[in-house]
A and B are shown apart, each in its own frame.
Chain A
Amino acid sequence: MTTPKLSMRGVRKSFGTNTVLDGIDLDVAPGEVITLIGASGSGKSTLLRCCNLLEPIDDGAILLDDDDIAEPGLDADPIRRRIGMVFQSFNLFPHMSVTKNVAIGPRKVLGVDKATANATAIELLARLGLTDRSDAYPDQLSGGQQQRVAIARSLAMGPEVMLLDEITSALDPELVGEVLDVVRGLKTDGMTMLFATHEMAFAREISDRVCFLHKGRILEQGPPDQIFGEPQEPRTREFLQRVIDSGRL
């Protein structure tokens, strides 16, 4: 068995008296795509933010290639550059052009010179179908375009793992497809991904494994056909039924 790319062991996190992650154990193999599903507040986003060390965990361990990255006191910057993160609200830098948004990470963090970083950025943008928007500013783009730029910005750092935090939740329905296409492309390229989402049909299509989170625990996990076809846990069935009732599956 290969060592997992990313691995969580008994991860706990609470905000005040509110326990958000209540002992998470999860192994993500290299090239594996895992989707996290569950109601709002079940801990999906916090789990991803903890993996990227944006939130310190209270207990447990997070291993990247078998190294504990959640060790208190560890310098988080070199670790973060190996893990890409895409946010629900895009979070592009509004004062920078699209190209600069993508080039700024390699320039500041990896010390790549401006010309090389820009060339790489433009290449990446072309791959994501954004060639003609490279000089635009974020507020001139549609939500779908902004989210694709955000993905490009993250990819520019050459991450080993991508964390996608409900990246289509802020988009108009007709723009969701273009962003999901990018995620399909990443899977084809063999990217390891951890993907929190409400897009159940897409989760079923793209996942190697689906995890259902409930109150900070992984209540059930398995191949998508099993989770969506024959869920074992009553809570999972209940959640999926609600999703079906709201017309999203």
Chain B
Amino acid sequence: MGSGPFRNSAHPVIPMDSQTRREAYEQRQRRRSIVIASASTAVVIATIVVLVPRAPRWDRVKKSFFDGDIFTDSFPRLLEAFWLDIKIFAWSVPLIFALSLAIAVSRNTRSPALFPLRAAAVIYTDVFRGIPVILTIFLVGFGVPGLFESRAWSNPLIWGSAALILSYSAYVSEEIRAGIEGVHESQRAAARSLGMSSTQTMASVILPQALRRIVPPMMNSLVSLQKDVALVSLIGPVEILRQAGLDKSKFANFTPYVAAAVIFLMVTIPCTRLADYLLNRERRRTGATTVS
């Protein structure tokens, strides 16, 4: 103590009671940021609250989109219909995961005998990433049941879900593939040098690391899927969007759509926040820093 090079300099030693100078400075900066942010937010909100009602036809819009009575009447029915969206989502996710994992892994195979598998995987991802989800739903939902005589095969829930699974697996498999390719080559070298086969290397060393990396991008895909489930309504099932349409016709008012939007946000906002949180955590863990 006291023998360091700076102890003998002409500058007085700042006493370290509770806060360092940097901490004090950063605290002042933080307070200033909070004040500025609150003030500018207040200005924006005030502008919207004051200006929007002054729009010439605000009264009519208010009546047909924000009718309180219709909202309370429609909301429980929509919530019940939303249960179907959740079910479609819930059974689609594991199937998407399984299918996209299979596609990603088959694209990474090397054996010449598996060439058809690799080619099929490439064609699959190209085709389904190239077609709008809604078109896939129409084509699969109306086309495939036509192959069968029995009406038991024409369940739009099954084919709607199948279309979602086909579409989303194409995206998610690319995310998994990027994760696999993101694992450094030296990990493969280390595993192979122990005598592990390429399959063992993939299963024990590469995939566990790849899957950890792809959680954040996959969360984003799932949030997106949660919304696209509503598209299945276009081939028949009465889920929330369809129910909102029925209520709209019944009341001749658009408020049910607003109620449906509120229900979607109740689910998607927490999920988006969670995805961002996971992404930031991954960024911190891998040592990437942000520069202010």
A contact set with B: CB distance below 8 Å: 49, 52, 54, 76-85, 87, 89, 91-95, 104-105, 108-109, 150, 153-154, 157
Give the distance to chain B from A211, nearest Cβ to Cβ, in Å: 22
Query: Which of B189, B200, B205, B208 is in CB contact (< 8 Å) with A109?
Result: B200
What sequence of 0s and 1s flags, for each residue 201-219 of chain B, a beta carbon within 8 Å of any chain A beta carbon? 0001100110010000000
B206 to A: closest C-beta gap in Å: 10
Q: Nearest A residue to B208 by beta-carbon distance?
A: A95
Q: Is the CB of A93 within 8 A of B186?
A: no
Find chain A residues with CB under 8 A from B208 CB: 95
The 7 closest A-B pairs by CB, nearest first: A81-B195, A91-B190, A105-B194, A85-B193, A80-B195, A109-B195, A91-B186
Q: Is B187's CB under 8 angstroms from A105's CB? A: no
Contacts of B204 in A (CB 8 A): 104, 108
A161 CA / B209 CA spacing, docked (Å) = 30
Contact between B186 and A105, CB atoms less than 8 A apart: no
Point out the residues of chain B lying under 8 angstroms from A77, CB to CB.
192, 195-197
In the bound complex, residues from chain B placing their C-beta under 8 Å from that of A82 are 195
Of the residues A78, A89, A91, contact of B195 by C-beta under 8 Å? A78
Known pairs A87-B189, A109-B195, A150-B190; list 20 more (Cβ under 8 Å).
A54-B189, A77-B195, A79-B195, A80-B192, A80-B195, A81-B195, A83-B193, A87-B190, A91-B186, A91-B190, A92-B190, A93-B187, A93-B191, A95-B209, A95-B212, A104-B194, A105-B195, A109-B200, A153-B194, A157-B195
Q: Provide a sorted-by-A list of 21 A–B residue pairs whose CB atoms are within 8 angstroms.
A: A54-B192, A76-B192, A77-B192, A77-B195, A77-B196, A77-B197, A79-B195, A80-B194, A80-B195, A81-B195, A93-B190, A95-B208, A95-B212, A108-B194, A108-B196, A108-B204, A109-B194, A109-B195, A153-B194, A154-B194, A157-B195
A51 to B196, CA, bound (A): 16
Which chain B residues border A78 with CB–CB below 8 Å? 195
Residue ranges of B at the interface with A (Cβ–Cβ < 8 Å)? 186-187, 189-197, 200, 204-205, 208-209, 212
With A87-B186, A108-B200 given, is the CB distance from A93 to B205 under 8 Å? yes
* B157 CB to nearest A CB, Å: 38
Which of the residues A54, A89, A93, A95 comes within 8 Å of B193, measured between beta carbons? Answer: A54
Complex Cα spacing A153 to B286, Å? 24
Contacts of B187 in A (CB 8 A): 91, 93
Contacts of A153 in B (CB 8 A): 194
Contacts of A83 in B (CB 8 A): 193
Residues of A within 8 A of B212 (CB): 95
Roughly how many angstroms separate A77 CA and B194 CA in the complex, as a whole number?
8
Minimum CB–CB distance from A60 to chain B (whole Å) comes to 21
Residues of B within 8 A of A81 (CB): 194-195
Q: A212 → chain B, closest Cβ, in Å?
A: 26
With a cutoff of 8 Å between Cβ atoms, the chain A residues found around residue B194 in the complex are 80-81, 104-105, 108-109, 153-154, 157
Q: State the CA gap A179–B29 with chains docked (Å).
A: 48
Chain B residues whose CB sits within 8 angstroms of the CB of A49 once the complex forms? 189
A159 vs chain B, min Cβ distance (A):
9
Known contacts A87-B186, A89-B186, A105 near B205 by CB under 8 Å: no
User: Closest approach, in angstroms, between the C-beta of B163 and any C-beta of chain A?
Assistant: 35
State the CA gap A79–B192 with chains docked (Å): 11
- Most A C-beta atoms less than 10 A away, residue of B204, B208, B209: B204
Q: Which residues of chain A come closer than 8 Å to B195, judged between CB atoms? A: 77-82, 105, 109, 157
Residues of B within 8 A of A105 (CB): 194-196
Given A81-B195, A108-B204, A94 contacting B189 (CB threshold 8 A): no
**A213 CB to nearest chain B CB (Å):** 21
Q: Shortest CB–CB separation between residue A201 and chain B, in angstroms?
A: 28
A100 to B191, CA, bound (A): 13
Q: How far is the CA of A108 from the CA of B193 in the complex (A)?
A: 13
Name B200's closest neighbour in chain A (CB-CB).
A108
Q: Which B residues are CB-close (under 8 A) to A87?
A: 186, 189-190
- Chain A's nearest CB lies how many Å from the CB of B264? 36
Residues of A close to B190: CB separation below 8 A: 87, 91-93, 150
In the complex the two chains form, what is the Cα distance from A95 to B211 in whole Å? 11
A207–B288 Cα distance when bound, in Å, is 42
Minimal Cβ-Cβ distance residue in A for B189 = A54
State A104–B194 Cα separation when bound (angstroms): 9
In the bound complex, CA of A91 to CA of B200 (Å): 17
Contact of B209 among A52, A94, A104 (CB under 8 A): A94
CB nearest to B194 among chain A residues: A105
Q: Shortest CB–CB separation between residue B205 and chain A, in angstroms?
A: 6
Which residue of chain B lies nearest to A156 when distances are taken between CB atoms in the complex?
B194
A92 to B193, CA, bound (A): 12
In the complex, the chain B residue whose C-beta lies closest to that of A52 is B193
